[in-house]
Structure 1
């Protein structure tokens, strides 16, 4: 069981690890019996969950893992009209016609929603599961204003044959609080541990961007992506299986960069400690995606 997170590994003792396989849940169609609190997982996206009564808040994964072609204004341009955009916010007018199925899309930033008009609708996640059904909860008194975090790929369906869904979405680009970083750091933990256990390090490599630097010890600095990948391939072949991580400090450098200082300990499958140390990581947000620009461990 992953306790918190995993970062550097230097004990390359060449022993295979057991792959971990994720399973998708069967798709749900409109009108099927599913509840707003239903929670399932797919191998591609952490499924959203409706919580907190009439507040439509979704628990999501890491926006860094969502494909750019599914960004709302790219995947569903007919439903999202940009009214204003600058470096701090983006204001969208969102419409969904009677009986319309909105193309699968995501919202990478937290938002304030002002729902002006709607009747009955459902929402599906990337696997087709119904994650919200307006018919199964208390009626919303419109217009209503609410806060939402980043939303993983989803596809709303307007069930009404006469009422258009209309709302204004104000997306907050420059939230500089540390709470918005929690999904980023939790996701990298899951991706790295799953990659090591399965032997497939492609997900780990997706955490890095062009020109990223990696130093696993005091003597070597890797900048070639193939060299970084070779390092992680060797780690995946070692007994490293689990880790604990204590984030000692997060220093925001602005809306698109932060430094993380951490203490880590790495364990084998039996829970025996292999090694540990400290690491300093520079994260940057490039085109809405958080990447590791530099990772230096001791």
Structure 2
């Protein structure tokens, strides 16, 4: 689940679950209010739920069944999710969102995927348990794992990351005035809110969030300067296209390498998973093991 494909897979699943929650909410809310009023036409909750059920009902129900089947079979088999792995997966997704504060990450999840951090953890757990159940009878030798690990060393290397603040102004004269104010003891965040012309970061006191030194979001002109900044220090004004930017280093994470022991289980699951039959076959086998009965259908 650490790749882009996995990320979009979980977002798609969450959209289905969001539809399910919406459906359940409207069922629970009764018929006291219409779903919508368009001109002189009223769309009732019943009509809304019926349309949802016709368009997405089978897919949503199957998705909910699959999750319940996986969680029940994992519990019965004594399989649990390693909290460290859960946090690692969550951290990678958080980084993909720009990884500012926890509250900003939660807001981004709600806006872009219609979900919460807790729901995301549940989805990650589901994916991990499904992979584990699908591969639990497979054996991959450590020698194979080590060879693959060594061939993908870059994948397990995290470059240095910095959390930056920035003040963006339109002219060199303005930049010089900002620098003079900072040298006289003015607060960086206060100036950013009042004078930075970058609307996205000014509202947060100039907070850019965590970025990698190799990240394309960090202009090439700034990289060598930011890399040498000390914590809580700020740069001189850097001309970037037709603007001037002053950066402040707020936090730093040095480059790190995940060891073979740290990634061994994850890599074993991934390699085994690549040899698994289709997930539909795996899920169908798990359904038969747990036992599923859909209203109006024979148990299977």
TM-score, normalization by structure 2: 0.21
Normalized per residue, the structure richer in helix is 2
Normalized per residue, the structure richer in strand is 1
Q: Considering Cα pairs closer than 8 Å and 6+ residues apart, tell me whether 1 or 2 has the greater RCO.
A: 1
TM-score, normalization by structure 1: 0.21
